[in-house]
Amino acid sequence: MMLSRRRFLSISAAALSMGASAAPARWSGLALGAEAQITLHGPGATEALPRAIARLREIEAAFSLYDPDSEVSRLNRAGRLVPSQDFAALMALADRVHRATQGQFDPTVQPLWQALARGQDTGDARQLIGWEKVQRAPQVVLGKGQALTFNGIAQGYATDAVADLLETRGFGRALVNIGEFRALGGPWRLGLADPGQGLLGSRTLTGGAVASSSPSALMLGAQAHILSPQGGAALWSTVSVECPSAALADALSTGFCLMDEAAIRAAIRHIPARVTLVDAGGNLRRLPA
């Protein structure tokens, strides 16, 4: 069964200024458990879409938990893996965000996620959490009983991979949405919505990336699906992060859901980003102020 999307950042309108160019080429589908769309402007756009989709499928083959033959699925079964270039790169990004978020972003929460989804006791699963237990080079080796999920970063990584491909092919105007957004050129207008409060406003994106996380967008029984490795509850209803990389924005928005404002401010001194926090009452705070 496919999970509901945890992100509530959606396009509220197409480009603000379409110009005189021909209609854009578009692809819509599913990737990494989320709705996905690529919108591409310029000569050769229709011909470029199949290569962009193929690159997206390469990322799925590494990180999709829905695919039993993906790298992460094979790692979780066997406990070790000789990683592909993409897998090693994402592990390094995950490690960077883990440190920046004081451990709140942690891919080893997968056994806890599974226990909650099945309605099982979580005591044993919590003992398996610990990014420091994972050997990352030259092979990836998990601690006994561990399993990884990259659902809080892989969609952003896929978004970057497709956008980077299009940029190297000379496209200066595109919007890639693989659960997160990355813009080449623009402007593009995006809407920010919260599960409880609905549409809260919009922003204009010209270049760069944006990702949002809403813990209550999916519930595992009484537990919101963004899980703290340290046992705490989510502190924000929605967190939206804007920075150059969709993968970083994706992972930071996940970790920041579990951090107070002071800790988030400390984190963005190490990984510069603009952050919008939405509390349970629908009040917005933007960092840095």
Amino acid in position 211: A
Predicted pLDDT at 1: 28
Domain extents in the chain? 1-289
Q: Model pTM greater than 0.85? A: yes
Measured CA to CA, the distance from residue 127 to residue 145 in angstroms comes to 9
Whole-angstrom distance, CA of residue 195 vs CA of residue 107: 24
Question: What's the confidence (pLDDT) of residue 131?
Answer: 97
Question: Which pLDDT belongs to residue 278?
Answer: 96
d(CA 255, CA 249): 10
CB 171 within 8 A of CB 42: yes
Residue among 150, 269, 250, 259 at smallest CA distance from 210: 250
Other Cβ atoms less than 10 A from the Cβ of 7: the count is 24
Q: Which helix (H) or strand (E) holds 269?
A: helix 261-270
pLDDT at 21: 52
Per-residue pLDDT of the chain (289 residues; tens, 9 = 90+): 233 334 444 433 333 434 435 689 999 999 998 899 999 999 999 999 999 999 999 999 999 999 999 999 999 999 999 999 999 999 999 999 999 999 999 999 999 999 999 999 999 999 999 999 999 989 999 999 999 999 999 999 999 999 999 999 999 999 999 999 999 999 999 988 898 888 888 889 999 999 999 999 998 888 889 999 999 999 999 999 999 999 999 999 999 999 999 999 999 999 999 999 999 999 999 999 7
Residue 142 sits at φ, ψ, to 5 deg, of -90, 155
Q: Tokens 């470029």: give the residue.
A: 48
Among 15, 70, 65, CA closest to 40: 15
Distance of CA 184 to the CA centre of its chain: 18
What architecture (CATH level 2) is domain 1-289? Answer: Roll (3.10)
**C-alpha torsion sign, points 221, 226, 230, 233:** negative
How many Å separate Cα 170 from the centre of its chain? 25
Instruction: Determine the Cα–Cα distance for residues 25 and 258; give it in Å rounded to an integer.
Output: 38
**CA 176 – CA 193 distance, rounded (Å):** 19
Cα 97 vs. chain centroid, distance in angstroms? 12
DSSP state of 135: B
